[in-house]
Amino acid sequence: MKRLDNLLVNSGYGSRREVQKIIRQKKVTVNGEIINRPAVHVDILKDEVCVLGEKVLYKEFVYLMLNKPAGFVSATHDKFERTVLELIDDEDKILEPYPVGRLDKDTVGLLIISNDGNMCHRVLSPKRHVEKKYFVRVDTCLNSSHIEIFSKGVILEDGYKCKPVELKILNSTPTGSECEVVLTEGKFHQIKRMFEAINSNVLYLKRIEFCGIELDENLNEGEYRHLTDEEVNILKLV
Ligand code: URA
């Protein structure tokens, strides 16, 4: 059962305030009967809800793209830390979305937030090899020998051999470098540990692409938007 106002917000009829107004203006019917109380509960499987006579097509899933800022953990609740869900408006949290995978507290960039459990399971499955592209700033001078080490598979401190990846050096100076790395696996702190393995420290880490979906450059850190239909389709086809 869902509250009528929540259902309408989630189906694209406006903000909570706007849909409550529509309901109070007696423009909404449930099974043919005018309902003017926003808190009434409706059964989305059985009840027919109409706005000005038009049947409401109920949306089951929500898909958001967040440009995660540093300082927030990728969780729905945390006793001590601020979570990425705190950056999402209440009306976009009605369907109870959660972060699809994790970025470290100090990592910024693209984080998908959704309630589509099947999609989430597929894109995070190690078998699907979904690509995640990162922009990385490190405190050492990267060169062709590092490209070679990455292309053969970096060995982490615990002995794990990473899959071969391309290290694309964007610029390199004696005091630091910037580069891009695309991962198809997701070990704990993987990027930081890969650079530690070549005696380099990650100073700044930003995810710029996930599963072929690019971070929207119009989003400032802390801002989010709904995915477009095309972007949702990319996720659903994984
Ligand atoms: N690798 C890391 O080390 N941290 C992240 O947040 C993502 C990938």
* pLDDT tens across the length of the chain (238 residues): 889 999 998 888 999 999 999 999 999 999 999 999 999 999 887 899 999 999 998 888 999 999 999 999 999 999 999 999 999 998 899 889 999 999 999 999 999 999 999 999 999 999 999 999 999 999 999 999 999 999 999 999 999 999 999 999 999 999 999 999 999 999 999 999 999 999 999 999 999 999 999 999 999 999 999 999 999 999 999 9
How far is ligand 1, taken at its centre, from the CA of residue 202, in Å?
Answer: 10
Kind and range of the H or E run holding 155: none
CATH of domain 131-210: 3.30.70.1560
**Would you call 47 a catalytic residue per the annotation?**
no
Q: Is the dihedral of CA 204, 209, 157, 175 positive or negative?
A: negative
Which pLDDT belongs to residue 76? 96
Asked if 16 contacts 26 with a C-beta cutoff of 8 angstroms, the reply is no
Helix (H, G, I), strand (E, B) or coil at 195: helix
pLDDT at 59: 83
Which residue out of 92, 104, 106, 216 is catalytically annotated? Answer: 104
CATH 3.10.290.10 residue ranges for the chain: 2-55
DSSP bridge pairs for 67: 110
* Alpha carbon of 99 to ligand 1 centroid (Å): 14
Which residues are near ligand 1 (CB < 6 Å)? 103-104, 107, 189-192, 205
* Atom of ligand 1 at shortest range from CA of 183: 8
CB 24 within 8 A of CB 15: no
Helix (H, G, I), strand (E, B) or coil at 178: strand
Domain boundaries 63-126+212-236, corresponding CATH code: 3.30.70.580
DSSP assignment letter at 159: S
Pairing of strands 28-30, 49-51: antiparallel
Q: Which pTM value belongs to this model?
A: 0.87
Q: What is the CATH number of domain 2-55?
A: 3.10.290.10
- What residues have CB less than 8 Å from 110, skipping those under 6 apart? 65, 66, 67, 68, 207, 208, 209, 210, 213, 214, 215
Q: How many CA atoms lie within 13 A of 172 on its CB side?
A: 14
Measured by CA distance, the residue closest to atom 3 of ligand 1 is 189
Cite the residue boundaries of each domain of the chain with CATH code 3.30.70.580.
63-126+212-236
Atom of ligand 1 nearest to the CA of 107: 6
Of 205, 207, 190, 204, which Cα lies nearest the Cα of 111? 207
Using CA positions, which residue lies closest to atom 2 of ligand 1? 189
Q: Which residues of 69-83 are buried (b: 16+ CB within 10 A; e: fewer)?
A: beebbbeeeeeeeeb
Report the atom number in ligand 1 closest to the C-alpha of 189.
Answer: 3
- For the chain, residues classed under CATH 3.30.70.1560 are 131-210
Residue of minimum CA distance from atom 4 in ligand 1: 189
